[in-house]
Chain A
Amino acid sequence: MPIQAIRTEENLVTEEPYYEPVGDEIEVYAAAYRNQLPILLKGPTGCGKTRFVEYMSWHLQRPMITVACHDDLTASDLVGRFLVKGGETVWVDGPLTRAARNGCICYLDEIVEARKDTSVVIHPLCDNRRLLPIDKLGELLQAPDEFCLTISYNPGYQSVLKDLKQSTRQRFVALEFDYPNAEKEQLIVEKEAPGIESAVAKHLVKFGTMTRNLKGGGLDEGASTRLLVNAAKLIVAGINPVVATDTAVALALTDDTDMLKAVHELSRSVF
């Protein structure tokens, strides 16, 4: 039995994911893809970065491999390692190597969380060389034209220890994401939470905008589109809108009592 954790063919997105374009990001991504340029997605949490990559994976008909980065993620987690099987050693490709071999889209989510040594393997892949050195195998893997590296990064983090180095960021085509405008956001909420009344969705979006007014004045972030969709789903399931926004949005945003109360009252204002 071959040892393989993820099979790439299973990562082909077969159904069109719902994605509402806000600008020319689809064209830009496609153009970058055709020119073998890696892509950096910037934006606050829950504004649709991951969904966008899924959509592009479907659009370009390339399998997609997602890696959620964490602070213990090392280069060998990405590249691969030898495992022992019955006294023999077996090499197992990591997600990045697998993507590079098979010409997939490799999506490294929240790259700043990963260990610094990951940049060693990312850098040669991201410039015109498009090489992935695998020292253990003594192999220099040349990525095919179909391979595309996409990373995401949330510039809203305030920790100076979690920042993307210039040498890394200057290798990417950057796409900036933000929350969509009210009309589009309402559309997204309605599509993502089928069954929600249009008026309720409108109010939810208005409520979302109000919480974003508070950003910097007590809240670190306003409510993301994802949170609004969550609240909408609860509402469709029969939960009272104010309770739904309290549980799905307010409590997720802050622990400060005054602020919680303010967000709660803002929600009561619109519903």
Chain B
Amino acid sequence: MSDESRQNFLNKIRVQKDLEQATGSVIERHGRGAELVSKFAALDRVDQDFIYHWAGIVSESNEELAGHFVNRAPSAFESMDQAGVEAWLIAAMDQFDNQGLGTAIEALENLQDFSANYALRHTSCLFESVATFLQHFVKGLGGRELQIASDRDTYTDTEKLFLPDSCNEHSEYDLNFSLFKLTAVHLWAQSWYGTWRYQVVERLIRSEDPGAITAVFNRLECIRLDACIARDLPGLHRQLESAAYRSEEHRFAWQEWRDDAFLLTGSSASALDSVALIADFISRPLPALKRYQGDVHLLAVRDAMFARVEREKAAMKQALAELQKALEQATEGDSDDTSNPKNLGEFSLTEDGESGSGGDVQFELSYDGEPVEMTPELEALLGSIMQDFGEVPDDHMAGINPSMYPEDLESDGAGQLGATQGDELSDAITYREWDYTRQRFRDAYCLLSEFDVPTGESGFVEATLEKYQGLLKSIKKTFEAVLGESKLQRRQSQGDDIDIDALVEAHADFARGHEMSEYLYTQYRNVERNIAVMFMVDMSGSTLGWVNEAERESLILLCEALETLGDRYAIYGFSGRTNKRCEIYRVKRFDESYTGEVRERISGIRPKSYTRMGVAIRHLGHLLNMTRARTKILITLSDGRPEDYGGYKGRYGIEDTRHALLELRRDGVHSFCITIDKEAQDYLPHMYGPANYAVIDEVKKLPLKVADIYRRLTT
């Protein structure tokens, strides 16, 4: 007998003994018994012990069940890991406890289904679990902000990346996760490297057989995009290569296409080159899609893109018109004759020499040959336009109609003032508004009235407190920690310890014949907070639905937390329509305590009409200034940029709001804005200053974030 077989033999004897001990019965040396022993012997010692351990536990409930378990356990280990086997056994024991032995044995026998199910659950990568990660990841890669969404098909419409609910192509979670990520990368690359250029989409749509053409186009583009990624992101390229193919034949088929379409792998190749090559490839058999490739939904791309192009064209024109106006005014001095279109200059764009690939192009804007500084808003716009066109088309730059902006503010606004609101307006307060086109205030231009928010449904508060029970606890805890933060205070007249610095100084004074100080101690003490905070809540129509609910929820959580902190706070909503009907809604005044009525008012916050921010800031800032506190903060909860009837939009609204905030700042009030507007980065830094805003990417997170931001802001 060789050493190895001798070892095997001894091993089997040991297993047999262990088995007999565990099951309490003699195992046959032949037939099924012998088969079981050799199966056990093949298992790891750890797994064997695991089975014995559980067999012991099960046999205390039922010996027959334990026997079944021991019989099936080795096969269970073939298809599952230890956690899986444990889950399978526990499921069976649950059946035994509730339904009896029969069903429990049935559950054990149903091993195949269970393990298949287990594998699916534990190896597949679910959309929900990776959505946040992917959103960050894609944002980090760069370019136009792309949303991540789940859909039955995998594709992009150039604004969103649609991904499947789950990915379970592989038997390992990590591989599935990686594939999920690479699928998103491929879709991102389509946007970044210009697959969906305007010209391309037009040509594809106009072709005779869009279905067949796009199938070829999808594959050719894949070759081009992979080459682009290989140049810029070698790490990703390696991952893509290792994940792409289903078999050697698959790889070979793609290799053939790539060799024949080598033109596309050059750094100057564009999507138009792919379109040009379609004719050469249309009659060839198509290789199956690479694993990470999605479909092409030409119509979705067209709709999203055409809508965006129009939107951005208008936005571009408006931005340039505003810029032009400002520039003309700067050169003409303070002349009021702004409607005269004569002698207006022209804008031109030049590409910066340092341009990278993809959408990564830097521009220099000049006006009549003079370089002009671009706003971040304009830069983002140009970036997005570049992604669509690969250049900035002339008609985006030309045809600015100087009279189109700003609209005639007076006539539009005054017409809206109906008789219905006349009574309430009798005690309205007037505020001025900053008109940047004139570089002057419009005195007494806005009429503002205060209203109480009608109380809302009473169940909302309880439901919210219930829903966020856990979160509220942790928020309160962190707030208490702020409160409990004690600091070492030096030079106290009494305290826990001697302040050596102070003592040395006092001794020196004494030695020189001066009077000794009595402030010689150090003491740990809480620093008194002296903060008044005003929450200004956006009640514009656009908050309808989710946003409004999230705002209300955040306010409730925040109030609960603020009560522990003891900071003085007030909550006001704002909305309105035109300068003659600016409305402020009282939710909680500074001198009011957090009563049931306040809570019901919070739940009664409802979307109204528009967002005239400047006047609201001036009014609430005034209220805030009337309170006595060392630190005063105005926090705005908003979902978008300032906008109202009568020309209060775009740069006009932003400049007025900015001016109102500057006025506040001069009075010593700090302002901060929390928004869910994804484009907020373009204008918020200008309005609030670089560090005084936070953009929340998910409405759901608002309640959590608002409290967190407040804590960070005030410590």
Contacts and interface: CB of A to CB of B under 8 A. Distances in A.
Interface of A: 72, 74, 76, 81-84, 87-89, 155-161, 163, 181-183, 203, 206, 209-211, 213-214, 216-218, 242, 258-259, 261-263, 265-271
B695 A83 contact: no
A48 B377 CA distance: 28
Contact of A82 (B134, B236, B508, B713): B508
B633 interface: yes
B640 to A, nearest CB: 16
Secondary structure at the B interface, as helix, strand, loop or mixed, is helix
B712 interface: yes
Interface in B591-644: 631, 633
A76 B141 CA distance: 50
Most chain A C-beta atoms within 10 Å of own C-beta, residue among B133, B507, B692, B694: B133
Contacts of B235: 242, 267-271
B139 interface: yes
A209 B713 CA distance: 27
B508 A183 contact: no
A265 B132 CA distance: 13
A83 B511 CA distance: 10
B152 interface: no
Interface residues of B, number: 46
Nearest to A242: B235
A12 to B, nearest CB: 30
Interface string B501-524: 100110111011000000000000
A88 B140 contact: no
B511 A210 contact: no
B444 to A, nearest CB: 29
Contacts of A210: 140-142
Interface of B: 132-134, 136-137, 139-142, 181, 185, 232-236, 239, 354, 356, 488, 490, 501, 504-505, 507-509, 511-512, 631, 633, 670, 672, 681, 689-692, 694-695, 697, 709, 712-715
Q: Which 9 residue pairs spanning A and B have beta carbons closest together?
A: A82-B508, A262-B136, A160-B670, A269-B236, A89-B508, A210-B140, A262-B137, A258-B132, A271-B235
Nearest to B229: A269
A214 B66 CA distance: 55
A262 B130 CA distance: 10
A206 B236 CA distance: 13
14 contacts: A82-B509, A83-B508, A155-B689, A209-B142, A214-B136, A216-B681, A218-B136, A262-B134, A266-B137, A266-B141, A268-B239, A269-B185, A269-B235, A269-B239
A47 to B, nearest CB: 13
B713 A158 contact: yes
A211 B140 contact: yes
Nearest to B681: A216
A270 B233 CA distance: 4
Contacts of B137: 261-262, 265-266
Contacts of B714: 159-161
A242 B232 CA distance: 16
A217 B697 contact: yes
Given A84-B504, A84-B507, A258-B132, A266 B712 contact: no
Given A84-B507, A158-B691, A181 B354 contact: yes
Contacts of A266: 137, 140-141
Given A155-B689, A265-B137, 6 more contacts: A82-B509, A158-B712, A158-B713, A159-B712, A258-B133, A265-B181
B164 to A, nearest CB: 19
A267 B504 CA distance: 54
Contacts of B132: 258
B670 A163 contact: yes
Given A156-B690, A157-B691, A269 B141 contact: yes
B690 A81 contact: no
Contact of A84 (B136, B239, B511, B681): B511
A160 to B, nearest CB: 4
Contacts of A183: 354
Contacts of B133: 258, 261-262, 265
A80 B236 CA distance: 58
B512 A214 contact: no
Contacts of A262: 133-134, 136-137, 140
B691 A155 contact: yes
A259 B136 contact: yes
Given A159-B715, A258-B133, A268-B239, A214 B139 contact: yes
A76 B712 CA distance: 30
A210 B694 CA distance: 19
B580 to A, nearest CB: 34
Given A263-B140, A269-B141, A82 B512 contact: yes
A155 B136 contact: no
A213 B681 contact: no
Contacts of B509: 82
Contact of A271 (B181, B234, B694): B234
Given A160-B713, A266-B141, A271-B235, A82 B136 contact: no
Contacts of A267: 235
Given A84-B511, A270-B233, A213 B140 contact: yes
A83 B504 contact: yes
Contacts of A89: 508, 511-512
Contacts of B136: 214, 217-218, 258-259, 261-263
A158 B692 contact: yes
